[in-house]
């Protein structure tokens, strides 16, 4: 399991650490501002973790209706805090 501090320390690397799940890798790319890479990884699975990341990404994009759909798929409440706080909660929850 990865905590917020450990996650943030990896953000200076050229790639996410090997062995991380696709949703966690997607969050890593999102934290570095690479929405496209993050979105591609989020779309690669159909479980709740992928859906949660997908929701987060559409929230970042500003497509709140699409984000709400993905929050429902993930069985998560729609986030209203900062993107960073949501991402930290997601990292801790994965």
Give residue-wise pLDDT tens across range 27-83.
Answer: 999 999 999 999 999 999 999 999 999 999 999 999 999 999 999 999 999 999 999
| Residue that has been written with the tokens 């990292």 in this structure | 91
> Does residue 90 contact residue 59 with C-beta atoms inside 8 Å?
no
Q: Please give the model's pTM, rounded to 2 decimal places.
A: 0.94
Angstrom distances, CA of residue 4 to CA of 13, 46, 61, 86: 16, 24, 23, 11
Q: What is the pLDDT of residue 10?
A: 96
Q: What is the pLDDT of residue 32?
A: 96
Provide φ and ψ at 25, rounded to 5°: -65, -40
Q: For residue 94, is pLDDT > 90?
A: no
């Amino acid at each position: 399991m990865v905590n917020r501090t450990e996650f943030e320390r990896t953000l200076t690397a050229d790639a996410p650490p090997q062995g991380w799940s696709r949703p966690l890798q997607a969050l890593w790319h999102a934290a570095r501002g690479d929405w496209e890479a993050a979105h591609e990884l989020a779309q690669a699975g159909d479980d709740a973790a992928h859906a949660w990341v997908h929701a987060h990404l559409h929230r970042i994009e500003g497509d709140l209706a699409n984000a709400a759909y993905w929050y429902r798929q993930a069985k998560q409440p729609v986030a209203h805090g900062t993107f960073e706080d949501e991402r930290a909660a997601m990292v801790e929850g994965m």
